[in-house]
């Protein structure tokens, strides 16, 4: 989160309250360099608007020069969340009219006085209806947490169990904890492991989270166990030798 960018975002007038909310949410997820990659579904869930609305507002923010969009795909060719580069330097403080006026019912035509906001001649108030949030797709959002950076599919029931387990040990899940989990899972996924299997392993062993180094520890432990393992015939031979001694 970049506090500097959030402050700058709050100063900029974009002509629409929901668009302003989307811009602030992007700034909330951005690094100090202005780079972020939240999914459309995550932004929609956080702002309580539809994914289509988010897409339209981001498109307009790009047209206003407030951000650049970089599309990206996974190695399998599936779409991943876009990377957004916020750029507020030189941004027009009021792109939708002089003096910060917003286009709409109260915007006065050139050469005329602004429409009154009270009284008989007041312009009608336009109601902005917030569209319902659609269910997230492609496992991008699970229980309100953004998993779009994960390079594999996840079973929602496993994540439900993981969240419940974390609550039971007084370690509730946060987006920061999810980001760490994704980073460690991706290390293992790049070496041929499956995310669902790793989460199952984490739950079965009572781990607070998954870390890639745990796999190395397990491999070493398994090797050690194999080295010390004796067959039944070997054990019987040792017993006989001890009796003879």
Residue-wise DSSP of 142-187: ETTEE-TT-SS---HHHHHHHHHHHHHTT----HHHHHHHHHHHHH
Angle between helices 175-189 and 195-204 (to 10 degrees): 120
DSSP β-ladder status, 79-86 and 35-36: antiparallel
Lowest-confidence pick of 54-63, 76-85, 139-148, 221-230: 221-230
Count other Cβ atoms within 10 Å, centred on residue 172.
10
- Give the sheet arrangement for strand 67-73, strand by strand: 35-36, 79-86, 67-73
Q: Residue 79's pLDDT band (boundaries 50, 70, 90)?
A: confident
CA angle 175, 177, 183 (to 5 degrees): 100
Q: What is the pLDDT of residue 174?
A: 93
Nearest to 215 by CA among 196, 200, 201: 201
Q: What is the pLDDT of residue 231?
A: 55
In the predicted model, what is the mean pLDDT of residues 133-161? 73
Q: What is the pLDDT of residue 180?
A: 94
The SS3 of residue 236 is helix
Phi, psi of 2 (to 5 degrees): -110, 110
Q: What is the pLDDT of residue 245?
A: 58
Count other Cβ atoms within 10 Å, centred on residue 95.
19
Q: How far is Cα 46 from Cα 40, in angstroms, rounded to an integer?
A: 10
In the predicted model, what is the mean pLDDT of residues 234-242? 67
**pLDDT tens digits for 118-139?**
444 444 444 343 444 333 334 4
Q: Residue 211's pLDDT band (boundaries 50, 70, 90)?
A: very high
pTM: 0.41
Phi, psi of 35 (to 5 degrees): -100, 135
DSSP β-ladder status, 145-146 and 141-142: antiparallel
> Would you say 202 and 210 are in contact if contact means Cβ atoms under 8 Å apart?
yes
DSSP β-ladder status, 67-73 and 79-86: antiparallel
Task: Return the H-helix or E-strand segment holding 28.
Answer: helix 17-29
- The DSSP string of 83-126 is EEEE--TT--S-TTSGGG--SSTTPPPTTSPPPPSSSTTPPPPP
């Amino acid at each position: 989160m970049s506090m500097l960018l959030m402050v700058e975002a709050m100063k900029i007038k974009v002509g629409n309250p929901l668009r302003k909310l989307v811009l602030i949410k992007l700034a909330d997820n951005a690094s100090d360099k202005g780079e972020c990659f939240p999914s459309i579904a995550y932004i929609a869930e956080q702002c309580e608007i539809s994914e289509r609305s988010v897409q339209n507002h981001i498109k307009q923010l790009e047209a206003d020069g407030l951000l650049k969009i970089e599309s990206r795909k996974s190695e399998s060719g599936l779409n991943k969340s876009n990377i957004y580069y916020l750029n507020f330097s030189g941004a027009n403080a009021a792109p939708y009219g002089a003096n910060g006026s917003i286009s709409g019912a109260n915007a006065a035509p050139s050469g005329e006085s602004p429409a009154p906001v009270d009284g008989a001649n007041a312009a009608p108030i336009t109601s902005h209806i917030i569209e319902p949030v659609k269910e997230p797709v492609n496992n991008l959002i699970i229980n309100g947490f953004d998993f779009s950076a994960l390079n594999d599919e996840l079973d929602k029931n496993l994540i439900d169990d993981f969240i419940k387990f974390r609550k039971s040990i007084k370690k509730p899940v946060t987006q920061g904890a999810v980001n760490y989990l994704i980073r460690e899972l991706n290390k293992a996924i790049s070496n041929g492991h499956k995310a669902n299997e790793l989460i199952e392993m984490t739950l079965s062993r009572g781990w607070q989270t998954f870390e890639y180094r745990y796999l190395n520890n397990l491999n070493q432990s398994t090797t050690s166990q194999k080295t010390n393992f004796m067959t039944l015939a070997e054990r019987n031979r040792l017993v006989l030798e001890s009796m003879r001694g």
